[in-house]
Amino acid sequence: MENGKVVSLNSYTSIIDAEFDADILKQNDIKCKINQSIMANIYPIPLFTEQQNPLEILVFQQDKQKAIEILNDYHNSADNI
């Protein structure tokens, strides 16, 4: 990612959910990255709970509010279908 302060947007227990949200952000021109441990990919998630080893979407601080709005809008509209 470019220069700038990077902050956590959201934590996930599923790599699928994290990848899905990251893709939505990227489609809306929000640069993001999933921060995850290699161990979370090797071992089943129940061995590494969210508190021990979270999957997080990281965004630039200046993009955080816009990213929250994009995901909220997307998930709220998806719930209404």
Q: Which residue has the tokens 């909220």?
A: 72
> 31 lies in a domain?
yes
Provide the pLDDT confidence category of residue 46 given band limits of 50, 70 and 90. low
Provide the pLDDT confidence category of residue 2 given band limits of 50, 70 and 90. low
pLDDT at residue 50 in the model: 46
Can you give the residue range of the structural domain that contains 59? Answer: 6-79
Where residue 16 sits, what CATH number does that domain have?
A: 3.30.70
Count of structural domains within the chain = 1
Whole-number average pLDDT of the chain: 82
> 48 lies in a domain?
yes
pTM of the model: 0.75
Provide the pLDDT confidence category of residue 13 given band limits of 50, 70 and 90. confident
> 52 lies in a domain?
yes
> 29 lies in a domain?
yes
Q: How many CB atoms lie within 10 A of CB 57?
A: 24
Sorted by sequence, the CB contacts under 8 Å of residue 76 that are 6+ apart come out as: none
> 69 lies in a domain?
yes
Kindly state the average pLDDT of the residues 33-43. 65
> 1 lies in a domain?
no
